[in-house]
Amino acid sequence: MTRFLKLLIRNRLAALGGAVILAVVVLALITPLLPLQAPNVTNTADRFIRPFSPGHLLGTDHLGRDLLSRLLWGTRLSLAVGASAAVIAAVIGAAVGIVAGYFGGRIDNVIMRLVDMLMAFPYILLALAIVAALGPGLMNALIAVAAVNVPFFARNIRGITVGIAGREFVDAARLAGMGHGRIILFEILPNVVPVIVIAMSTTIGWMILETAGLSFLGLGSQPPQADLGSMLGEARAALIAAPHTSVVPGAMILAIVMGINLLGDGVRDALDPRLRSGALTRPMPATSVRRETVPAPQGGGVLQLADLETRFEIGPRIYRAVNKVSLEVAPGECLGIIGESGSGKSVTALSIMGLVASPPGVITGGAAYYRGDDLIGAPYRRLRSLRGDRIAYIFQDPQATLHPLYRVGDQLAEAIRVHHSISRAEAEDRAIDLLTAVRIPNAESRARAYPHELSGGMRQRVGIAMAMANDPDIIIADEPTTALDVTVQAQILSLLDDLRRERGLAIIFITHDFGVVAQLCDRVAVMYAGRIVEEGPTGTVLDAPAHPYTRRLIACVPELGQGRRRLEAIPGLPPAVDRLPAGCAFAPRCDKARDACTAGDIALERAGARAVRCLFPEETLT
């Protein structure tokens, strides 16, 4: 709640709107306590007194009534009517929308067609017709305004509910045996309340205007009772002779509606969870970079990371997701990055091409050299021309990365045409070649399939074809086989292996499975809590792990045909990266930890091709 208020206040326009509304509401609330003249007492001798006259701060109207008093009482009435209409419309509209969206089918159809009928009328006309039927009067104006706004809420909320009603947690509630009533109240409602609040905060201004409009036409509040609309209506005749009688209520309406709309927009922005973690800004196209020194490139390789540091800065907390990571990969080589979930593998991979969302992500140090060119902080245009062209990504879930409504062949063709100006027909031919290259049978007919028509393994092949589309130098594969079953996983791995041998691709393969590393990778880097703790050629690391963490990770892999062996889970959890312990982050879970391990920073000791960050390694590296 306090975070919400902070965000709201940081948005200056919203804060201004909020201040105006707060002032108006407070004035309206304390109106009965103020020493005002009676709003409805006429005194024709004092007609049209100018503002700032003694006794009448805002002057008087055509019947000599005090304008200040009428304004405050009128504002009170207008706010009350507008707000009640909004609440009534929101409650009825949301109820109708939730019922229609949740039950669907015929109920939905009947309700929505009724709503459509109401929406087919221009809505001031509809309000006029309702008031005409009920007779003039403020109460009837309120009913009319509420009634014409019900369809708006109903449509809006129905749309949201349809989306939520199909989600897994609602199915889970059904499976748990909950009734419709409970599901609607406890599963659906909490998810739509923010939307209702937002819709209300942005329409309440309209409702006040509509009520004022009806009163202006003489259909709302009846003389002598003042509301802002009727004050304007009565002042119309004297617009030229005594403009202040119009300006006073007009200015108040303007202030209220502007204030509410600015505040409403601010509320909407501040409630949007995507904006909550950062400032009120959209994520930037590339990760923001804030580094003091740029490490020079050492060694070779097509891609080389030097002391890369990426953090998430969320409020006062700093999450060190990637902490001085140095890696390199040569053409035709496959480098594995392995570690438990949350160890910073994905963030490392995404930092290279500036794909970490900013805010909250910031690259605070290090460099990523691609063929000698630093990519960190490179201009967005340069990054964009490399993304998907020279350096391509494959993600875990191709279902999420493929567009559900386009045929896979078209999506492949598009990926090519983003970087190469070739004709559509050529791109389509190339797409079919790619599908053949990733061993999809009947590539030509498969190219016309939609993602949901393919199996998981098939989709991941399309994902790989997509990454291969522009013959990249480097493929960064982030757990591409985690969602697949083992036979498909083996096929995908051998496919990647062949591709790299045929085309001299460099692959960075991220996984949490040593079995996969053993099948595919030449070298492996082990990550823990954002740091590399061990690195070396796969064979030697597997045979003789140097870091206790590596040893325990390897012990977690079941081996077939090796007789009975105890599978050892690593007790405990990786540390939260916003509260890293001093020294070795693995020490609390390590059976060999001694006092020295937690005393201070531990360096990555290199010896030949291997490196380890441990004071008491399992193996002395030579």
Residue 97 or 398: the one with the smaller Cβ distance to ligand ADP is 398
CB atoms within 10 A of CB 84: 16
Length of the chain, please?
Answer: 622
Q: Check binding of 73 to ligand ADP (CB under 6 A).
A: no
- As a whole number of angstroms, the distance between CA 261 and CA 203 comes to 8
| CB neighbour class for 162 (10 Å; exposed up to 12, middle 13-18, buried from 19) | middle
Q: Which two tokens stand for residue 237?
A: 């005749």
Q: Check binding of 395 to ligand ADP (CB under 6 A).
A: no
Longest dimension (CA), the chain: 110
Per-residue interface string for the shown chain with Mg ion, residues 346-385, x marking contact by CB under 5 A? x---------------------------------------
Q: Is 561 left (phi over 0), alpha (psi -120 to 50) or beta?
A: left
What is residue 38's DSSP assignment?
P
Q: What Rg do the C-alpha atoms of the chain give, in angstroms?
A: 34
Question: Cβ of residue 346: shortest distance to Mg ion, in angstroms?
Answer: 3
Q: Of Mg ion, ligand ADP, none, which one does residue 339 interact with (CB within 5 to 8 Å by kind)?
A: ligand ADP
Restricted to residues 575-604, the positions that interact with ligand ADP (CB under 6 A) are 577
Among 36, 126, 357, 490, binds ligand ADP (CB under 6 A): 357
Chain centroid to CA 140: how far? Answer: 42
Q: Which range of residues in 13-21, 77-85, 152-160, 340-348 is near Mg ion by CB under 5 A?
A: 340-348
> Taking CA 489 as the corner, what is the angle to CA 488 and CA 495, rounded to the nearest 5 degrees?
90
AA letter at 133: A
Q: Check binding of 123 to ligand ADP (CB under 6 A).
A: no
Q: Of Mg ion, ligand ADP, none, which one does residue 324 interact with (CB within 5 to 8 Å by kind)?
A: none
Q: Of Mg ion, ligand ADP, none, which one does residue 245 interact with (CB within 5 to 8 Å by kind)?
A: none
Neighbour-count burial for 483-499, b at 16+ CB within 10 Å, e otherwise:
bbeeebbebbbebbeeb
- As a whole number of angstroms, the distance between CA 329 and CA 536 comes to 12
Q: Check binding of 31 to Mg ion (CB under 5 A).
A: no
Q: Of Mg ion, ligand ADP, none, which one does residue 114 interact with (CB within 5 to 8 Å by kind)?
A: none
Residue 74 or 344: the one with the smaller Cβ distance to ligand ADP is 344
End-to-end CA distance of the chain: 57
- As a whole number of angstroms, the distance between CA 549 and CA 539 comes to 17
Q: Check binding of 336 to ligand ADP (CB under 6 A).
A: no
Q: Check binding of 149 to ligand ADP (CB under 6 A).
A: no
Q: Which range of residues in 198-206, 345-353, 451-459, 596-604 is near Mg ion by CB under 5 A?
A: 345-353
Among 339, 388, 409, 480, binds ligand ADP (CB under 6 A): 339
Q: Check binding of 283 to ligand ADP (CB under 6 A).
A: no
Q: Which range of residues in 100-108, 301-309, 344-352, 499-507 is near ligand ADP by CB under 6 A?
A: 344-352
Q: Of ligand ADP, Mg ion, none, which one does residue 344 interact with (CB within 5 to 8 Å by kind)?
A: ligand ADP
Question: Cβ of residue 303: shortest distance to Mg ion, in angstroms?
Answer: 19
Q: Which range of residues in 139-147, 216-224, 262-270, 345-353 is near ligand ADP by CB under 6 A?
A: 345-353
Q: Of Mg ion, ligand ADP, none, which one does residue 395 interact with (CB within 5 to 8 Å by kind)?
A: none
Question: Cβ of residue 478: shortest distance to Mg ion, in angstroms?
Answer: 6
Collect all residues with Cβ–Cβ distance below 8 Å to 349 and sequence separation of at least 6: 337, 393, 476, 478, 508, 510
Residue 360 or 366: the one with the smaller Cβ distance to ligand ADP is 360
Q: Check binding of 621 to ligand ADP (CB under 6 A).
A: no
Q: Check binding of 69 to ligand ADP (CB under 6 A).
A: no
CB atoms within 10 A of CB 172: 11
Question: How many residues bind to ligand ADP according to rule CB under 6 A?
Answer: 15
Q: Which residue is nearest to ligand ADP (CB)?
A: 346
Nearest C-alpha neighbor of 410 from the set 366, 465, 479? 465
Kindly provide the residue ranges of all beta strands, DSSP E only, lying in 436-590, ordered along the sequence: 474-478, 506-511, 523-528, 531-537
Q: Of ligand ADP, Mg ion, none, which one does residue 577 interact with (CB within 5 to 8 Å by kind)?
A: ligand ADP
Q: What distances in angstroms separate CA 317 from CA 58, 132, 366, 585, one per listed residue?
A: 53, 60, 21, 18
Nearest C-alpha neighbor of 65 from the set 74, 56, 75, 73? 56
Per-residue interface string for the shown chain with ligand ADP, residues 284-323, x marking contact by CB under 6 A? ----------------------------x-x----x-x--
Strand order in the sheet with 334-338: 391-394, 474-478, 506-511, 334-338, 523-528, 531-537, 610-612, 605-607
Among 346, 358, 460, 538, binds ligand ADP (CB under 6 A): 346
Residue 90 or 476: the one with the smaller Cβ distance to ligand ADP is 476
Residue 245 or 343: the one with the smaller Cβ distance to Mg ion is 343
Question: How many residues bind to Mg ion according to rule CB under 5 A?
Answer: 1
Q: Check binding of 344 to ligand ADP (CB under 6 A).
A: yes
Q: What distances in angstroms separate CA 4 from CA 16, 17, 315, one per listed residue?
A: 16, 16, 13
Q: Which range of residues in 209-217, 285-293, 338-346, 528-536 is near Mg ion by CB under 5 A?
A: 338-346
Q: Of ligand ADP, Mg ion, none, which one does residue 312 interact with (CB within 5 to 8 Å by kind)?
A: ligand ADP
- As a whole number of angstroms, the distance between CA 151 and CA 216 comes to 24
AA letter at 192: V
Q: Check binding of 341 to ligand ADP (CB under 6 A).
A: yes
Contact 329, 474 (CB under 8 A): yes
Residue appearing with tokens 């070795």: 584
Residue 288 or 470: the one with the smaller Cβ distance to ligand ADP is 288
Q: Of Mg ion, ligand ADP, none, which one does residue 360 interact with (CB within 5 to 8 Å by kind)?
A: ligand ADP
Q: Check binding of 343 to Mg ion (CB under 5 A).
A: no
Q: Check binding of 457 to ligand ADP (CB under 6 A).
A: no
Q: Is 64 left (phi over 0), alpha (psi -120 to 50) or beta?
A: left
Kindly tell me the sign of the dihedral angle through the C-alpha atoms of 482, 499, 373, 286: negative
Q: Of ligand ADP, Mg ion, none, which one does residue 319 interact with (CB within 5 to 8 Å by kind)?
A: ligand ADP
Containing 61, the helix (H) or strand (E) segment is: none
Question: Cβ of residue 553: shortest distance to ligand ADP, in angstroms?
Answer: 13
Kindly provide the residue ranges of all beta strands, DSSP E only, lying in 197-277, ordered along the sequence: none
- What is the contact surface with Mg ion in residues (CB under 5 A)? 346
Binding site for ligand ADP (CB under 6 A): 312, 314, 319, 321, 339, 341-347, 357, 360, 577
